[in-house]
Amino acid sequence: MPLNRLTSVLRQNLEAFEQEGRRKGPEAVVVGVLPPEGARGPRYLLEGHGAKPFLRMNSNGYLGLASHPALKKAEEEAIERFGVGPGAVRFISGTYGTHVELERRLADFHAREAAMIFSSAYATVLSVVVPLTTAQTVLISDELNHNCIINAVRLARPLEKMVYKHLELGELEKALQKAVALGARRVLVLTDGVFSMRGSHAPLAEISALIHQYDAHFAENALLVVDDSHGVGAFGPTGRGTEEYTASQADILIGTLGKAFGVNGGYVVGPGDLIAYLRETSPMYVYSNPITPGEAAAAGAALQLLQSPEGQARLHHLQAMTQRFRQGLVSLGYESFPGAHPVVPLLLRDSALTHRLVRYLREHGVLATAILYPVVPRGEDSIRFQVSAEHTQADIDEVLAILQAFRQDGLGTP
């Protein structure tokens, strides 16, 4: 059956995206990786660009572990033992020793009773929020939460859904008061740990204290649920994320294995009974294959590495390079959001100028990503730079020099 009527509408939508300056367009295809050489870190080869090397400033791999020998060895050994795929969902016959060992390590790392892993952090959020939402539950969410939280709230069927202004604890308290007035039995307050487009973090200690004040009003508790996918491994003195940075602990913590840990998958940690319930009710755990045994082994190796002297040295180097880049942007007169996380946005507040600078960076061998509405609020058009432990001082200075040249070339105005 021809789809001409549908495809005509879809084509019009794509054209509208293009005109509004928010179409993502063709994807850059990595076809090779050049190892570090001299004072520079690794460079990437892209399809269609021949031997031209690119410095990647848009990777979530904050610790630079994807090519680490220890991770590759762990995955290769697990593949030799178990093969390349799990072959089933967890409750049938898809649970391997590497899965169980990784869950044990994650629980220990976060000082929790238990952990469970999923195919991604996005799947984790959906599979935690929806099963824990009843007809007598109120969901309260920060307005700048990640799309996975937004969609989890959309899919759930609570008594009430509320959104509070970004980090406005006064509004959060009003939402809690409204939940009391509604007679809710359960409340889930949902927030990112690190907000992925800003690099800023939630004040978890203050949020947790506020929730605790109202907890007694709800028969089934008021709980703080934190997705710290950008924080875990890359933030805090030892890499334990926003909880460590703010000296606090969420009731339910969600993280990822696909960013700082350099592998793939997501996870949740919390009380044993909670995790046992989620194993019975989480749709993307019960009905979808887990990460491979090899990926679980590699993630376990990453977790072990982070806690070693080498891993801590990588984390400290990441922190130093982040500070160097942030200070460099300020000295050049660019605007950014304050913070200490390796997500460093450069705010241009103009979509055309943002696209122009992204093209300029690519022409000069730097990969960075334009972040436009609706991913961010209108007027916050920006370029999200992401610093990695793979970056050297020379790499950071190279990018800053290109940003300086952009202005000197007369291109840096709307």
Q: Tell me the Cα Rg of the chain.
A: 22
Amino acid at 410: G
User: Annotated catalytic residue: which of 68, 110, 201, 230?
Assistant: 230
Integer Cα distance of 253 and 270 in angstroms: 7
Residue 283 and residue 130 in contact, taking contact as beta carbons nearer than 8 Å? yes
Q: What is the dihedral of CA 141, 147, 150, 154, to 10 degrees?
A: -170
Residue 159 and residue 136 in contact, taking contact as beta carbons nearer than 8 Å? yes
Phi-psi region of 410 (alpha: psi -120 to 50; beta: other; left: phi over 0): left
174 is catalytic: no
User: Annotated catalytic residue: which of 99, 259, 317, 391?
Assistant: 259
Amino acid at 201: H
Q: What is the dihedral of CA 239, 240, 242, 246, to 10 degrees?
A: -100
Q: What is the dihedral of CA 86, 87, 90, 91, to 10 degrees?
A: -150
Geometric angle at alpha carbon 132, from 190 and 202, rounded to 5°: 15
Amino acid at 311: G
259 is catalytic: yes
201 is catalytic: no
Integer Cα distance of 62 and 321 in angstroms: 11
Q: What are the percentages of helix, strand and coil residues in the chain, rounded to 5?
A: 45, 20, 40
User: Annotated catalytic residue: which of 196, 351, 382, 388?
Assistant: 196
- Sequence-distant (6+) residues with CB within 8 A of 406 are 357, 360, 361, 412
Residue 59 and residue 386 in contact, taking contact as beta carbons nearer than 8 Å? yes
Integer Cα distance of 318 and 322 in angstroms: 6
Phi-psi region of 245 (alpha: psi -120 to 50; beta: other; left: phi over 0): alpha
Which residues have a catalytic role annotated?
Answer: 196, 230, 259
